[in-house]
């Protein structure tokens, strides 16, 4: 018994264009957040002065999360979106979710950095 060949899906042009533009926006946002992560080092300015003892381990972990997290999330979003586009599935929501998750990961890292400084607020 031969099965009839499945008809190939047509490419979804609007989705490919939208996904590509949103992926580019996501890369720019991830790059900006990576640059902003370097400014988190200034949170340690009060450490050691006036008897302030900071949790440098927590601050270091938060810095790494804020520095590397956006790039990792954006790379994952790019890979998943490309796979969905190749499979001709709707993929525009992947870059949107990636952008939101990128910002949340950066904020979590920044929160960790700030929480390592006694008396600091975010």
pLDDT value of residue 45: 85
For the cut 80, the answer to whether the pLDDT of residue 99 exceeds it is yes
Given pLDDT bands bounded at 50, 70 and 90, which one contains residue 1? low
pLDDT value of residue 7: 67
Question: Directed axis angle between helix 93-115 and helix 13-38, to 10°?
Answer: 10
d(CA 22, CA 108): 23
* Segment 33-87, tens digit of pLDDT: 999 999 999 988 888 877 778 899 999 999 999 999 999 999 999 999 999 999 9
For the cut 70, the answer to whether the pLDDT of residue 5 exceeds it is no
Domain boundaries, the chain: 13-43+53-115
> For the whole model, what pTM was predicted?
0.87
């Amino acid at each position: 018994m031969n099965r009839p060949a499945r008809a190939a899906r047509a490419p979804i042009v609007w989705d490919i264009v939208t996904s590509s533009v949103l992926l580019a926006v996501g890369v720019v946002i991830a790059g900006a957040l990576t640059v902003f992560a370097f400014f988190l080092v200034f949170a340690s300015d009060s450490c050691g002065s006036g008897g302030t003892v900071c949790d440098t381990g927590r601050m270091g972990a938060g810095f790494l999360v804020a520095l590397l997290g956006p790039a990792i999330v954006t790379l994952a979003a790019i890979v998943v979106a490309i796979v969905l586009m190749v499979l001709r599935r709707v993929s525009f929501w992947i870059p949107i979710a990636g952008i939101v998750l990128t910002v949340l990961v950066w904020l979590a890292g920044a929160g960790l950095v700030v929480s390592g400084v006694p008396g600091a607020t975010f």
